[in-house]
């Protein structure tokens, strides 16, 4: 049985005051025996969030990482640094990185490998644009994004990773994929992995992301291949985030 997982991606939001408030709210949540909770703040808030949540079961991740271990890479943050500061997860390949910062499949795979080398669990994001969905390319595109990582990291690497299906047209738009649309892609992701290893496929947590809210989380989680959510906007409101977590537990 796979555990549920709900991850908040705070993106580039927050201030010292709002982060302190969110941490206070997170500390009050009751944890579920069968579902985990994690948050991914902007880099600068990571140390205070790790400290603030130290007495809880909630873990912390970063939203991006360098593919390089160290060196003259102005503005970058290495996986080793994230691990030293108490991160458990790191998001790689978010569509905002792929589209706004030109993170290619190859770079995403290198970031994935760099994260695992220091023991971080990568959350690999895949997903199609509206044009790609309308052209009927969703399943092939998601498969390509996944295979780019499997080809360079190996299938066993997915036993220490999480995959998040995030259709670009559903991110921050209030337009969620229907539970059937999401389940179809999740099942495809699991099948692609199963071709290489049925054991890895069976254990892989696959999250859905894209306008997940308190009122649509339960119907998404009711599907057999949807193991949780990667939540943007609603993760900044403690009541909404708590409701999504409760739906997963
Ligand atoms: P929203 O939940 O705001 O649509 O964002 C989804 C997302 O991109 C999470 O990584």
Angstrom distance (rounded) from CA 32 to CA 22:
19
Q: Is 172 in the pocket of ligand 1 (CB under 6 A)?
A: yes
Q: Which atom of ligand 1 is nearest to the CA of 211?
A: 4
**Per-residue pLDDT at 176:** 87
**Per-residue pLDDT at 174:** 86
Q: Compute the distance from residue 212 Cα to the ligand 1 centre, in Å.
A: 7
Asked whether the beta carbons of 9 and 235 are under 8 A apart, the reply is yes
- 117-134 tens-digit pLDDT: 999 999 999 999 999 999
Structural domain span for residue 217: 4-248
Burial of 2 per CB tally in 10 Å (0-12, 13-18, 19+): middle
Indicate which residues carry an active-site annotation: 94, 166
**Per-residue pLDDT at 227:** 98
241: CATH:
3.20.20.70
Tell me the pTM: 0.98
Q: Compute the distance from residue 174 Cα to the ligand 1 centre, in Å.
A: 10
Q: Is 171 in the pocket of ligand 1 (CB under 6 A)?
A: yes
In the predicted model, residues of the chain with pLDDT beneath 70 are: none
**Per-residue pLDDT at 149:** 98
**Per-residue pLDDT at 175:** 86
Q: Concatenated DSSP letters for 165-232? A: E--GGGTTSS-PPPHHHHHHHHHHHHHHHHHH-HHHHHH-EEEEESS--TTTHHHHHTSTT--EEEES
Q: Domains in the chain: how many in total?
A: 1
Q: Which atom of ligand 1 is nearest to the CA of 164?
A: 10
**Per-residue pLDDT at 150:** 98
């Amino acid at each position: 049985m796979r555990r549920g997982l709900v991850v908040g991606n705070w993106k580039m939001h927050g201030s010292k005051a709002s982060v302190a408030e969110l941490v206070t709210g997170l500390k009050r949540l009751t944890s579920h025996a069968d579902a985990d909770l994690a948050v991914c703040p902007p880099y600068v808030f990571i140390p205070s969030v790790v400290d603030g949540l130290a007495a809880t079961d909630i873990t912390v991740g970063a939203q991006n990482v360098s593919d390089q271990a160290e060196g003259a890479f102005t503005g970058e943050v290495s996986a080793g640094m994230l691990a030293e500061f108490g991160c458990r997860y790191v998001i790689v390949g978010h569509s905002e990185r792929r589209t706004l910062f030109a993170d290619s499949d190859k770079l995403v795979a290198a970031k994935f490998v760099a994260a695992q080398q220091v023991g971080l669990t990568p959350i690999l994001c895949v997903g199609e644009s509206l044009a790609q969905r309308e052209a009927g390319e969703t399943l092939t595109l998601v498969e390509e994004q996944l295979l780019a990582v499997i080809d360079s990291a190996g299938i066993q690497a997915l036993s220490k990773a999480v995959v998040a299906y995030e259709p670009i047209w559903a991110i921050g738009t209030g337009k969620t994929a229907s539970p059937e649309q999401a389940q179809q892609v999740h099942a495809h992701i699991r099948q692609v992995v199963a071709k290489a290893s049925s054991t890895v496929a069976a254990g892989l947590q696959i999250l859905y992301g894209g306008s997940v809210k308190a009122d649509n989380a339960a119907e998404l989680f009711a599907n057999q291949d949807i193991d949780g959510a990667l939540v943007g906007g609603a993760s900044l409101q403690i009541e909404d985030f708590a409701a999504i977590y409760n739906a997963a537990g």
